[in-house]
């Protein structure tokens, strides 16, 4: 007698595990692709903020140069030069924080940390990243509230001319938010793969251009 494989309940149940596995693999692949796209977008945002910070430096240099020329040639000061340079310093300081953390370019003292075994360094770094994430998330919120309040109230700098401060204060929550997001990304990478962020930064530097390597060093 010939035996035929049924297409009823038993046949459907027999085929369901394979279909479920394929669905899980497909879902995992989609999540991996989404995470890769999100990380690339985060990297690009950090780099764009560095460009904005560089433009702020260029603006500070231009204003300072004009101030020197005006004082030397006309014995007069450019109105608002000191105030604008002071406010642009906020862009210089905060907008590059996340990129510097990504490249491990912040000043650190590894006298004790570098001598710890790898497992201990992972624990220390995980604790640091969590504490830093909470701190800069809170700082993002408080600085955003402060910037909005200054915008609503029309806060200005006391000087030769009135200059509103909200546009400079707005750089603080932006920079802190990006830094908190970088801490979160590094913590998740540490938790999932065990990779320390200085190791990831070293790989990025090795793959970067000579100009970028000189900047990090």
Model pLDDT for residues 66-93, shown as the tens digit of each residue: 999 999 998 899 999 999 999 999 999 9
Residue 14 domain flag: no
Query: How confident is the model at residue 20, as a pLDDT?
Result: 57
Query: How confident is the model at residue 213, as a pLDDT?
Result: 57
Rounded to whole angstroms, the Cα distance separating 175 from 136 reads 10
Length of the chain measured in residues: 217
Say if pTM beats, i.e. exceeds, 0.75.
yes
Rounded to whole angstroms, the Cα distance separating 212 from 217 reads 9
Residue with tokens 């990297």: 43
- CA proximity to 126, closest of 204, 186, 200, 201: 186
Residue 12 domain flag: no
Residue 58 domain flag: yes
Residues of the chain with pLDDT under 50: 1-15
Residue 62 domain flag: yes
Decide: 59 and 88 in contact? Cβ < 8 Å.
Answer: yes
Residue 8 domain flag: no
Task: Give the domain range for residue 114.
Answer: 38-216
Residue 129 domain flag: yes
Tell me 3's DSSP state.
Answer: -
Query: How confident is the model at residue 36, as a pLDDT?
Result: 86
Residue 184 domain flag: yes
Helices (H), the chain: 9-74, 81-94, 97-102, 118-153, 166-169, 171-193, 197-207, 210-216
Residue 136 domain flag: yes
Rounded to whole angstroms, the Cα distance separating 179 from 186 reads 11
Q: How many domains does the chain have?
A: 1
- CA proximity to 40, closest of 105, 125, 92, 102: 102
* Cβ partners under 8 Å of residue 190, min gap 6: 122, 125, 126, 129, 196, 197
Please give the full DSSP string across 18-79, using - where no structure is assigned. Answer: HHHHHHHHHHHHHHHHHHHHHHHHHHHHHHHHHHHHHHHHHHHHHHHHHHHHHHHHHS-PPT
To the nearest 10 degrees (0 to 180), the angle between helices 81-94 and 9-74 is 150
């Amino acid at each position: 007698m010939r035996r035929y494989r049924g297409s009823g309940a038993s046949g459907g149940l027999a085929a369901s595990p394979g279909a479920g596995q394929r669905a899980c693999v497909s879902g995992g692949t989609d999540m991996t692709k989404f995470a890769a796209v999100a990380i690339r977008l985060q990297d690009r945002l950090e780099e764009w903020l560095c460009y904005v910070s560089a433009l702020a430096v260029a603006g500070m240099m231009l204003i300072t140069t004009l101030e020197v020329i005006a004082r030397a040639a006309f014995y007069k000061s450019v109105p608002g030069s000191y105030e604008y340079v002071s406010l642009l310093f906020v862009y210089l300081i905060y907008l590059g924080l996340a990129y510097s953390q990504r490249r491990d370019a912040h000043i650190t003292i590894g006298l004790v940390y570098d001598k710890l075994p790898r497992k201990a360094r992972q624990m220390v770094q995980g604790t640091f990243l969590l504490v830093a994430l909470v701190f800069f998330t809170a700082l993002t919120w408080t600085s955003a509230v402060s910037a909005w309040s200054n915008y609503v109230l029309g806060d200005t700098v006391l000087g030769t001319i009135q200059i509103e401060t909200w546009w400079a204060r707005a750089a603080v929550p932006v920079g802190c938010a990006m830094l908190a997001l970088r801490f979160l990304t590094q913590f998740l990478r540490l938790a999932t793969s065990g990779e320390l962020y200085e190791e990831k930064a070293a790989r990025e530097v090795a793959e970067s251009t000579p100009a970028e390597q000189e900047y990090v060093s």
